[in-house]
Amino acid sequence: MSFLVKEEKCYLMALATEMGEEPRPDMNIMGLKALITGSQSYEEEFVKGMLDTIISSRKEEAEKEEKEFQLEKMRIEAGMATPNGNLADERQVHNNSRFEMSKAMPKFDAKEGDIVLCMSLFERQAKRLKIDPSDWVSCLILLMPTEIVKLIVRVSEEEFFNFEYIKGILMKKFNLNAEGFRQKFVQQQRTSEKSRKDFVYEVTNYFQGWINDLNITYFDGSKKLFITDQVKKRVPQEVRDHFVDVWGTIAKPQDLADKLDGYECVRKTNRKPSNLNHKVQQQGNVRSNTYSRDNGDHKVNQKPMKQE
């Protein structure tokens, strides 16, 4: 029964009502608990499940209201930003765009979903449906969970309808940079649930994200990137750790070679004094041993003097 004390009053009020009781608005949590547990229909596991359902339903309603509020805000801003535009016409266009996109795209799951694939599919569908790029952000928000909507809403007015800017924010949110894209490109595996076409689509998007983040837009750059990646695979982990801050941004084999050669040069220079000292010590030991042997031989060969 302790689970009842932990929940908010509004949830307990709704639970008591669902159980056929009549809770008073002025009742506190302990009073509501007594009312619920004293009900003839009280059965702990059943009540616990009912409470979870009520909480989940209330949270979904709150998220829906939040999204509707933000969308209404964007509709008003979009209408005000249109020179000589008709607000009603603008609203109808936005509504049509959002409706079409909601049918073409599933909602994004922040815990299980892949933001790269989501954004790529969104762009494809937006182009296919011929949605105006100025409406892309409005359509995207409908597909995002509340925490991401709140992140987007905090963007300045100047960048609010800039889809590429919003896309960059979401990539940073999920810690996707050049190295992150590279790892996904290399490590992605095809599962039995996915077709080979789906797999090719996924790795293509990861590769595109990789080269885009490094500003590579030509074939020669892609060639250098692949060569660099092959060289990186053969570098010991301790050396990689030394360049951890810039490792993912090195995209040219010559740049990588210069850094690695410079690192090796410094290491060799730092090792020389210790090697030299070791040699000097060895030479000193040899001289000492030679001197000891010579003195020993001299003492052995020295004859005692006769006494007269």
**196-224 average pLDDT score:** 74
3-state secondary structure of 88: helix
Residue 72 covered by a domain: yes
Amino acid at 134: S
- d(Cα 62, Cα 146) in Å, to the nearest integer? 9
| 64 has pLDDT over 70 | yes
pLDDT at 308: 43
Looking at 79, 100, 117, which one is the last position of a domain?
A: 79
- Percent of the chain residues topping a pLDDT of 70: 70
Looking at 158, 173, 188, which one is the last position of a domain?
A: 173
Q: What is the pLDDT of residues 89-141, one digit of tens each?
A: 555 555 666 667 777 788 888 777 788 888 888 888 888 888 888 888 888 88
Residue 276 covered by a domain: no
Same-domain pairing of 50 and 99: no
- The whole-chain average pLDDT of the chain stands at 74
pLDDT at 142: 84
Domain residue limits at 240: 179-268
Same-domain pairing of 183 and 243: yes
- d(Cα 193, Cα 115) in Å, to the nearest integer? 19
Residue 275 covered by a domain: no
Q: What is the pLDDT of residues 259-295, one digit of tens each?
A: 888 888 888 887 655 554 555 455 555 455 554 555 5
Range from 30-34, 270-274, 295-299 carrying the lowest mean pLDDT: 295-299
Looking at 18, 48, 79, which one is the last position of a domain?
A: 79
Q: Which helix (H) or strand (E) holds 286?
A: helix 253-301
First to last CA, the chain: 118
Same-domain pairing of 70 and 119: no
Residue 127 covered by a domain: yes
Q: What is the pLDDT of residues 190-206, one digit of tens each?
A: 677 666 676 667 777 77
Do residues 79 and 85 make contact, with C-beta atoms less than 8 angstroms apart?
yes
Same-domain pairing of 220 and 153: no
Number of folded domains that form the chain: 3
Residue 293 covered by a domain: no
pTM: 0.41
pLDDT at 287: 53
Residue 118 covered by a domain: yes
Amino acid at 98: R
Same-domain pairing of 188 and 140: no
Tell me 7's DSSP state: S
3-state secondary structure of 185: helix
Residue 289 covered by a domain: no
